[in-house]
A and B are shown apart, each in its own frame.
Chain A
Amino acid sequence: AQSVAQPEDQVNVAEGNPLTVKCTYSVSGNPYLFWYVQYPNRGLQFLLKYITGDNLVKGSYGFEAEFNKSQTSFHLKKPSALVSDSALYFCAAGSYSSASKIIFGSGTRLSIRP
């Protein structure tokens, strides 16, 4: 069965420092992977996705993520955090070899302190 793990419920980072939000996945076959962000009282917004090609994917608001097949990971990163990055972040995964729906992780709350 497909699964997505976000091992940290909360990540706290000082403004200006680099941030990492972790995600690991388990799917059969080649994966496609997403990061979505949810600001308070809003729906989810797309940040970036890996479908195929370069392992380093760049997305909105200066975020990037690296697909690591051997570690089955797709960690979200940003070199310099902003207070406005504080939100709930969801990783999601699906598989080319399966027609089933994508699976979302449980979310990681990112808190950036001034």
Chain B
Amino acid sequence: GAGVSQSPSNKVTEKGKDVELRCDPISGHTALYWYRQSLGQGLEFLIYFQGNSAPDKSGLPSDRFSAERTGGSVSTLTIQRTQQEDSAVYLCASSPQGVMRETQYFGPGTRLLVL
């Protein structure tokens, strides 16, 4: 079946512009996660959606970052007024029930470059 998809695969933007990154999770998965992978760094947790519960936003690095998940499926991560330090690969993952010991299924990522 189809896996997690993300778009765009690459995004180049100018400092100060806003960007939107999209994630389509595996159909039927109730949990969706966003991570950031910077060069030489591990995966940094950003935000977690679980069904209709309020999202866990504890990993968002600043108020320039926000995310929403419409209809319990597609999610959009928005970065406002991008900065050069936002350059990274943004990974989305989904899991069936959102129990943390479940396997997470990752998309290919969006590589963001802020000039």
Given A90-B42, A101-B48, A101-B56, A46 contacting B100 (CB threshold 8 A):
no
Closest CB-CB distance, A76 to chain B, in whole Å? 15
Across the two chains, which residue of chain A brings its CB closest to B47?
A101
Residue among B43, B48, B103, B108 with max Cβ neighbours from chain A (10 Å): B43
Give the docked Cα–Cα distance between A104 and B107 (Å): 16
Asked if A43 lies at the interface with its beta carbon under 8 angstroms from chain B, I say: yes
Given A43-B109, A44-B91, A106-B41, A49 contacting B103 (CB threshold 8 A):
yes
Across the two chains, which residue of chain A brings its CB closest to B105?
A46
Count class of interface residues, chain A: 20 to 34
Q: Would A43 and B48 count as touching, CB distance under 8 A?
A: no
Per the 8 Å Cβ criterion, residues 84-114 of A in contact with B are 90, 92, 94, 96, 99-107
Per the 8 Å Cβ criterion, residues 7-30 of A in contact with B are 9
Choose one: B42, B45, B56, B106; the contact of A43 (CB below 8 Å): B106
Interface residues of chain A, those whose CB is within 8 Å of chain B, are: 4, 6, 9, 32, 34, 36, 41-46, 49, 51, 90, 92, 94, 96, 99-107
18 A-B residue pairings within 8 Å (CB atoms): A9-B40, A34-B103, A41-B108, A43-B93, A43-B107, A43-B109, A44-B104, A44-B106, A46-B103, A46-B105, A49-B103, A94-B101, A99-B100, A100-B100, A101-B56, A102-B100, A106-B40, A107-B42
